Amino acid sequence: MNDYKCPQCKAYLNVSNNVIFAAEKDDGTKGLILLHPEIGNFESDQHEKFVIGEGEKVEFKCPACNANLKAPKARNLAKIEAVSEDNKVFEVYFSRIKGEKSTYTLEGESVEIYGEHSENYKDYFELGNIGLMK
Ligand SMILES: [Zn+2]
């Protein structure tokens, strides 16, 4: 399984089988969000009273240093670092909108895209001719 790191403070964000984020909703409510560590698996979990509605956008922050993980220029995406089991370092971009299934991995010039809504940001990655991989 990949390791995931904060781009700012380099803290490991994965614990057991979760990638852990501090999150904040538009109304200022804060909580923790657990994402699945397998890229392309869009399961997520949070406290039953920290309710995020379908289509709602949340801020993803590093639980260690509180850095906002918003991707530069693509305001609906969050960006973190990843290290594969064979020590390849790459970037992972994922949607901050609940229910929007779009994740991208970027290693050098190479982009892989995951999720049924990933077309939404293809311009950002200049993906004109690259098809859906998963
Ligand atoms: Zn951090």
Please tell me the distance between residue 7's alpha carbon and the centre of ligand 1 in angstroms. 7
51-66: average pLDDT: 97
Q: pTM, whole model, 2 decimals?
A: 0.91
69 C-alpha to ligand 1 centroid (Å) = 9
Average pLDDT over residues 15-28: 96
In order, the DSSP letters of 3-72 are EEE-TTT--B-EETTEEEEEEE-TTS-EEEEEE-SSTT---EEE-TTS---TT-B-EEE-TTT--B-BPS
Longest dimension (CA), the chain: 42
Reported confidence tier of residue 127, pLDDT bands at 50, 70, 90: low
In a 10 Å sphere around its CB, with 0-12 CB exposed, 13-18 middle and 19+ buried, how is residue 87 labelled? exposed
Dist. CA 120 → ligand 1 center (Å): 27
Compute the distance from residue 13 Cα to the ligand 1 centre, in Å: 9
Q: Residue 125 — very low, low, confident or very high, per pLDDT cuts 50/70/90?
A: confident
Q: Quick one: pLDDT at residue 122?
A: 81
76 contacts 95 by C-beta, under 8 angstroms: yes
Distance 61 CA to ligand 1 centre (A): 8
Distance of alpha carbon 60 from alpha carbon 95, whole angstroms: 10
The arithmetic mean of pLDDT across residues 120-133, rounded, is 65
Distance (angstroms) between ligand 1 centre and the Cα of 129 equals: 34
| Percent of the chain clearing pLDDT 70 (strictly above) | 94
Expressed in angstroms and rounded, the spacing between residue 58 Cα and the centre of ligand 1 is 17
Judged against a pLDDT cut of 60, whether residue 129 lies above it is answered with: no
123 CA → ligand 1 middle, Å:
28
> How many angstroms separate the CA atoms of 119 and 61, rounded?
25
Distance 128 CA to ligand 1 centre (A): 33
pLDDT tens string 94-114:
999 999 999 999 988 888 999
| Domain spans in the chain, listed from the N-terminal domain onward | 3-121
